[in-house]
């Protein structure tokens, strides 16, 4: 389209359309709308658990605060105190010597959610990696 770049990101039934020229973006939307039922949600604010905000210098700020709050609620940890990250590399975690976590499916679900959080919070990657080693048989100490 006239050498102007337009980008379309599709994930299942969610679509982000962006580009260099507003007229080109509108043309892509019109063409898609001719074949599919689309709902234009306006400017991007939330996509796949990631909040998006424009900064004053034209950049984008990505945040998963809403998603973090949902994960804390799922883990019954709303209102919990924060702790240092990353996990100290000197800590020794073991698959032995503790009581069972109880709900291993919940543990796996939380680990999966935390892995997704590393998209915008890379500082938790090491800790999540260490905890993910125990998804088969989690203990309370994990």
Percent of the chain at pLDDT exceeding 90: 44
- Same domain for 70 and 50: no
Over residues 102-109, mean pLDDT: 88
- For residues 2-9, average pLDDT: 88
* pLDDT tens-digit series, residues 110-132: 999 999 999 888 999 988 998 89
pTM for this model (two decimals)? 0.69
- Reported as a single tens digit per residue, the pLDDT across 30-54 is 999 999 988 888 889 998 889 999 9
* 58 against 73, higher pLDDT: 73
Q: Which domain holds residue 100?
A: 65-132
Q: Are residue 107 and residue 73 in the same domain, yes or no?
A: yes
Domain count, the chain: 2
64 in Cβ contact with 52 (< 8 Å): no
Q: Give pLDDT, residue 137.
A: 80
């Amino acid at each position: 389209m006239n050498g102007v770049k337009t980008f379309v990101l599709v994930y299942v039934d969610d679509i982000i359309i962006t580009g260099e020229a507003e007229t080109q973006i509108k043309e892509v939307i019109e063409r898609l709308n001719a074949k599919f039922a689309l709902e234009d949600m306006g400017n991007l604010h939330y996509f796949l658990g990631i909040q998006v905000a424009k900064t004053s210098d034209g950049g984008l700020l990505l945040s998963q605060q809403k998603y973090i709050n949902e994960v804390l609620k799922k883990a019954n940890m709303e209102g919990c105190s924060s702790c240092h990250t990353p996990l100290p590399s000197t800590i020794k975690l073991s698959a032995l010597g503790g009581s069972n976590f109880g709900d291993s499916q919940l543990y796996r679900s939380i680990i999966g959610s935390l892995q997704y959080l590393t998209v915008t919070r890379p500082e938790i990657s090491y800790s999540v990696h260490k905890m993910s080693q125990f998804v088969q048989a989690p203990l309370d100490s994990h």
